[in-house]
Amino acid sequence: MRLLKYPSVVQEEIFSNMEYETIFPLSLTSRNLSKILKQFNWKPIEVAFVFEKMRFHIHFGDSTTPLELIPKTFKWNEMFPYGFICGHSRQVYKLETRSGSREEIVMMMYNHISELFQKCPSLRFGARISAPNMSYYIPIPSLSIATFKDVSANDLTTFMSNHLDLKLLVLEKEHLREIPDIINFRNLRVMCFQESFLHYMSHFKEVNAYFCGPTEEYYIREFIYRWLNGKLYENLNLIHIEQEDGERFSPDLLENYRHNRWDLNRMPQEYKLDEGDKYYTQFPGPFKMENAVYVQRESDGKVLSLQNTPRIFIGCVWNQENVFRE
């Protein structure tokens, strides 16, 4: 490859302007080139493994995005187990492998990508499991994000025990028939079209929860009641609920709490997520407190700010010393 004849400074300038979808297949073509690429500093990146029944895909970017919306992926198929096919060009990249098994190839690619981008300041791995059962999923070390189209409670419980450091769990489209006793990942995102968000919140023990789907106003008021009475949600920082297209919250949703208006002259003007959580949400904030109201819990003094637009409800949990400043 002629690029290898240039000085390393020139090489890095050229490669740093290439897309990861170009860098990855190049690294598979030559050991010498792969060795050179490992020396460079790369921008933060998310690598997604998408598991299906007969194949899996690798792509670079948001792992929660449906596969049909990804313009370029690298596909491994059980019918051709010794290489990757680039979905855009149909070019085949052969691999040196012993058995050609799914497990061997997944781990080979995980190790290859980890080494290739070892100087990346933030390399994250995500998995999207679209297979009919978990036997088609190969555990990814250091997994940050997992997205399920359909999963059983038993499989999800096993998955949680194998991925204790997961930062975001996404459940979409299909209803989770049963829910594990404890959903203990810091961030949860659910497309809940058949059950109330409370169905999931009663099992969620962590920090930030995001829901999308038709939501009756009764359930919002029930959530506030439960929070005030110290029933569950002890670790909650943020709940964000988005109505389904066409559904709307009424302007009177929070009317019962209007006597506690958020005073921007003496209370914080915005709510900020922890820096480590911003990457794992579609709504990183900060959340402006204009037109907010609040309730305060007697047991520990914590404050829950409440806001809604026609389509969105947001609840933010504060320590009282951060709200009522002298």
Answer whether 100's CB lies under 8 Å from 23's CB.
no
Residue 300, in any domain of the structure: yes
pLDDT tens sequence across 34-71: 888 888 888 889 999 999 988 899 999 999 988 888 88
**Whether residue 272 is found in the same domain as residue 164:** no
Confidence band, pLDDT 50/70/90 cuts, at residue 278: very high
Residue 5's pLDDT band (boundaries 50, 70, 90)?
A: low
Neighbours of 85 (CB within 10 A): 18
Domain end (from 165, 185, 205)? 185
* 201 within some domain: no
My answer on whether 156 and 277 are in the same domain is no
Is residue 157 domain-shared with residue 261, that is, in the same domain? no
In the chain, helix, strand, coil percent, each to 5?
Answer: 30, 25, 45
Portion of the chain with pLDDT greater than 70, in percent: 93
Least confident of 49-63, 102-116, 194-208, 296-310: 194-208
Q: Name the domain boundary from 185, 200, 235.
A: 185
Distant-in-sequence, close-in-space partners of 172: CB < 8 Å, separation ≥ 6: 147, 148, 149, 189, 190, 191
pLDDT confidence of residue 41: 86
CA dist list (Å): 228 to 5, 197, 299: 68, 17, 9
Q: Domain for residue 205, yes or no? A: no
pLDDT tens for 217-263 read: 999 999 999 999 986 788 899 999 999 877 899 999 999 999 999 99
**What pLDDT score does 293 carry?**
97
Cα separation, 67 vs 70, in Å, equals: 5
Q: Domain count of the chain?
A: 2
Q: Please give the residue range of the domain that contains residue 33.
A: 1-185
pTM score: 0.89
Lowest mean pLDDT among 70-74, 138-142, 165-169, 306-310: 70-74
> In which band, very low, low, confident or very high, does the pLDDT at 177 lie, cut at 50, 70 and 90?
low
The pLDDT of 73-79, averaged and rounded, is 84
Same structural domain for residues 177 and 78? yes
What is d(CA 139, CA 132) in angstroms, rounded to the nearest whole number? 16
Residues 174, 312: one domain? no
User: Which of 168, 185, 202 is at the close of a domain?
Assistant: 185
